[in-house]
Structure 1
Amino acid sequence: MTGVGVDAVIPGAVVALLDAADADTLLRDAESLAEGLVDAGWTPEVESGRFSAGGWDVLSSAWAPAVSVFLDGDAREVRRAALSVAAALTADADGWRFETEGPDWSRWSVDDERWDADEIDWLQWRGRGVVVSLFTAPETPAGPGTLPAHLQLAIERADTPEEGFTPDEARDRRIVVDGSVVERWFLVGSPGLADELLTALENDPDPRVCAAADSERWMRERSPDEPSTSV
């Protein structure tokens, strides 16, 4: 896929991530997910599950392994990037099966009038045991301000239930005690993580886990109704 000529519009890390998207490798488990993202050119941040590259951000989770890639900014540049992602996936015709319930905006130009007139829906590609979903939105009102134009590229296992998985406190406790550093780092941002387990992770022997837990605690204290970060 790296030869489709999109690298000038989207970072090589995005192209490499699409190349690596596979349920048996990238999305196999926590260790594979972290290693695959780093190998693709993404840099881990302090927050649990967060990576970055070239002005793009990744939020990821390990149970079940999943990745959401985000970009926001000028509407035309966001559209151009979304079209480049779609072109990269479409160019790999043998690897992906395309589907959408709405208009196929992957074939529009950046200045097509339908961006503003039509209701944009998710585009999806299936293959390699994963589902790749792509969405873009213009600047939208949000409370007293606005949300900038943005895109989201989600990569999930095809066998993940639509409603996701329920919290598993027994697993969480096992990981706090016996999990790897990578598993504990991902666990910090796991939805439904018990407060006492977050406290234990704040005192983890690895500084990366401690830093992620401190960040999660800071967010919990400012968002009491949303105690954890999820993809």
Structure 2
Amino acid sequence: MTAVSTDAPAPLPDAVRALLQVADADTLLRDAESLAAALTDAGWTPEVESGRFGTDDGDLLSSAWAPNVSVFFEGDETEIRMRAQAVASFLSSRPERWSFRTDGDDWSGWTLHDTRWTMGDWMATYPLEWRGGDVVISLYVRPDHQPGKVLAPANLHLAIEREDTPEDGLPRDDDRARRVLRAGSVIDRWYLAGEQELPDDVITALENDPDSRVRAAAESERWYRERTVTGPPPSPDGEGPGRPGPPAHFSAR
């Protein structure tokens, strides 16, 4: 793997660096409690929606079944290339921990203005991938112009998942969902609210949970399920679009 190009000196955001430093199956991707604790310690702020965290300029989605994390950045195409190369440089500078591979082009060492950035079908491009600590880290970039497709801002997607997660994810488990509902912590239930295909009785119980953070997450999930267009959830008073205030930071275990 080639070194990052010298004309891309973008620093790695602190929250991303801290996340990558704890990216293993035992520290970050063990369970809901580990996810929430590691993410908040790394500088990510929990939001209303289940599993969603944020920083000033990035979004993070996470799930506890199976544990995984996805970080997203959108912006200027050159900035996205610089950020992606900064992530690649950080990971590849630690060969004792991370093993690199890709089935596609290794763009980590291209100059920012290399014509190859604008060639080919990036929607079908294979990610750069690193393995270590029983996790797989995948790094994708997308340009802000895709010939023949809808225009969209350039974006970066950094995915972290357990190496033992099945390709199609873990199957629906209603018994587990009810156990989490009965005996799980607030964090467990907050993550549970974001899972797909929950039994109706579990959804109803989450919407009536004694903790306001769980109720807000469950209500937000219902709002999204019942609508086919993207938009902000209704305000707490029902008067037009809005968003409830973010939940309090989860305390460490």
TM above 0.5 = yes
Task: State the alpha-carbon separation in 1 of the partners of residues 61 and 151 from structure 2.
Answer: 22
Please give the secondary structure, in 1, of the residue aligned with 2:43.
Answer: coil
The offset of 1:91, in angstroms, is 1.0
Alignment match, 2:47 = 45
Alignment match, 1:160 = 165
Q: Deviations over 1:64-118 (max 9, x none)?
A: 1100000111111111111111011011121100000011001112211101114
- Give the AA of the match of 2:55: A
Answering whether residue 188 of structure 2 is matched by residue 186 of structure 1, we say: no
Q: Is the 8 A contact 1:9 1:84 kept in 2?
A: yes
Task: State the alpha-carbon separation in 1 of the partners of residues 77 and 163 from structure 2.
Answer: 30
The offset of 1:195, in angstroms, is 3.1
Q: 1:122 aligns with which of 108, 127, 130?
A: 127
Which ranges of 4 or more aligned residues in structure 1 deviate by more than 4 Å? Answer: none
Task: State the alpha-carbon separation in 2 of the partners of residues 145 and 184 from structure 1.
Answer: 37
Answering whether residue 93 of structure 2 is matched by residue 88 of structure 1, we say: no
1:205–1:7 distance in 2 versus 1, CA, 3 Å: farther
Number of equivalenced pairs? 219
Task: State the alpha-carbon separation in 1 of the partners of residues 200 and 150 from structure 2.
Answer: 32
The offset of 1:10, in angstroms, is 3.2
- Give the AA of the match of 1:168: D
Alignment match, 1:214 = 219
- Give the AA of the match of 1:137: R
Q: Deviations over 1:36-67 (max 9, x none)?
A: 00111100000000001131111000011100
The offset of 1:139, in angstroms, is 2.0
Structure-2-length-normalised TM-score:
0.82
Task: State the alpha-carbon separation in 2 of the partners of residues 175 and 163 from structure 1.
Answer: 22
1:144–1:98 distance in 2 versus 1, CA, 3 Å: closer
Higher percent of residues as strand: 1
- Give the AA of the match of 1:105: W
Q: Is the 8 A contact 1:122 1:133 kept in 2?
A: yes
Q: Deviations over 1:127-185 (max 9, x none)?
A: 011000000001256x9963211110000001111111111111111111211100100
Q: Is the 8 A contact 2:89 2:108 kept in 1?
A: yes
Task: State the alpha-carbon separation in 2 of the partners of residues 162 and 47 from structure 1.
Answer: 25
Alignment match, 2:176 = 171
- Give the AA of the match of 1:18: L
Task: State the alpha-carbon separation in 2 of the partners of residues 86 and 198 from structure 1.
Answer: 40
The alignment-based identity, stated in percent, is: 56
Alignment match, 2:236 = none
Alignment match, 2:76 = 74
Q: Is the 8 A contact 1:72 1:150 kept in 2?
A: yes
Alignment match, 1:205 = 210
The offset of 1:121, in angstroms, is 2.1
Q: Any stretches of 5+ residues in structure 2 without a counterpart? A: 1-7, 230-253
Q: Is the 8 A contact 1:11 1:53 kept in 2?
A: no
Structure-1-length-normalised TM-score:
0.89
1:94–1:102 distance in 2 versus 1, CA, 3 Å: same
